[in-house]
Structure 1
Amino acid sequence: MLRRERGGGMVQIRAAVAGHPVHHSLTPALFMFVADHLRESGEGLRIELLKNIDTFDLPEAMAIAYTSNRDNSRRAERGAAVPRSEFWLSLTTPLKHMVPPESAIELLGEARQIACVNQMLHDGHGWRGAATDGIGLVDVARENGIQFPSPE
């Protein structure tokens, strides 16, 4: 689902937070913390944090990501060397409750059942989403090969 293949070369990531209001969100700081960690670990990622998207409209927020990846696809079609690109979109209220479970978005774990999607990823081909509150974070970690010790 949100699994990243290792050894696939440079990946360009654009990230944004969308919802209303977004000015209070700690997610931009968390994105930068993750970006710094990934740079230090040599993961081959370049992360650019975009402006917050203050909106009540989920399609508007998704369109920004789609357009961002489409531009890279067009450059590649013209023969330009472009890195793989992804758009990470963090959804806050009310958008995180607006992703329809019956949509074409591939949902991980309990996101469909609880009707809440906090994190979305556009990889240039399609959308994936996950709930990352509580057990959802564990689901995403397990999908990426991270195991947690069992509580005793």
Structure 2
Amino acid sequence: MADYWGIVGYPVSHSLTPRLFAAVGEYLKMNSAQQVFLEANGIAEFESRVAVLEGDLWLSCTAPLKHSPQDRLGVSGPDGVNAVNQLKRVGGEWSGTSTDGVGFVAACRHIGIEPDGSILRMRGGGSAARAIAAAWAAEGGRIIPEEGRRPLISGPWDSAIIDGGEATIGIDLDAAPAGGDSETLDADMQVSISYGDGASTDEFAVIMVAAQHLEAWKSIFAPERAA
């Protein structure tokens, strides 16, 4: 059981994650942890902030901290993703994983889109893009990459990459955090995973953050309580 749980990264003041921790914890009768919002622009600031928190710590990790924990904390994400968005410290030992991809797939299914046989048009090549590409390809989906700030590199999703087609869903992963605007993509439906203050529960970004949070409980925080 965690002594603290919450969010780390920058910005985080808008984050729903601490409230999601509280909601799931209450449901599972594991609600004695203290909520934390830890603002950190880099791994050194992250380490200084968590050093003063004694005990076990469960954190969702957002930009710009999805890459650096791997080297400094000795944790690793899924194959090809090379980033984490969930961190757990128990007895001073760190573990971590990425739930961005599986959360995206779960959110798509929630709105009626099945990845198998569907085409995803995706702009961006960062950690969230790689996680989503890996999960989408693993579920039988196809991907049309659109170059943004960086290209989507080679990875386990290579066989799912296609040059063109009618995209079922599009997403601009280069949209700024906290509700930043997206570039318009050619797809039947476009979604965003960036949300800000006042976001509603029917927004895709909110559905996804809830989905990836539930996946984190199942895979790393409390797998023994998974249904």
TM-score, length-scaled by structure 2: 0.42
Match in the other structure for 1:123: 90
Q: Counterparts of 1:140 and 1:34 in 2: how far apart (Å)?
A: 9
Give the residue type in structure 2 aligned to 1:16. G
Give the residue type in structure 1 aligned to 2:98. A
Larger radius of gyration: 2
Match 1:61 to one of 46, 49, 52: 46
Match in the other structure for 2:25: 35
Match in the other structure for 1:87: 57
SS in 2 for 1:46: coil
Match in the other structure for 2:8: 18
Match in the other structure for 2:33: 47
Q: Unpaired segments of 5 or more residues in structure 1?
A: 1-10, 70-84, 148-152
Match 1:105 to one of 69, 74, 98: 74
Q: Which has the higher contact order (CA 8 A, sep 6+)?
A: 1
Give the residue type in structure 1 aligned to 2:60. S
Instruction: Compute the displacement of 1:46 (Å).
Output: 2.0
Q: Counterparts of 1:96 and 1:142 in 2: how far apart (Å)?
A: 17
Instruction: Compute the displacement of 1:92 (Å).
Output: 0.8
Give the residue type in structure 2 aligned to 1:97. H
Q: Is the 8 A contact 1:88 1:120 kept in 2?
A: yes
Instruction: Compute the displacement of 1:48 (Å).
Output: 1.1
Match in the other structure for 1:141: 218
**Offset from partner CA, 1:60-98 (integer Å, 9 cap, x none):** 2234334323xxxxxxxxxxxxxxx41112111111132
Q: Is the 8 A contact 1:19 1:54 kept in 2?
A: yes
Q: Is the 8 A contact 2:56 2:92 kept in 1?
A: no
Instruction: Compute the displacement of 1:139 (Å).
Output: 8.2
Q: Counterparts of 1:16 and 1:141 in 2: how far apart (Å)?
A: 16
RMSD: 2.8
The aligned length equals: 114
TM-score, length-scaled by structure 1: 0.60
Match in the other structure for 2:187: none
Q: Counterparts of 2:61 and 2:101 in 1: how far apart (Å)?
A: 15
Share of identical aligned residues, percent? 28
SS in 2 for 1:114: coil
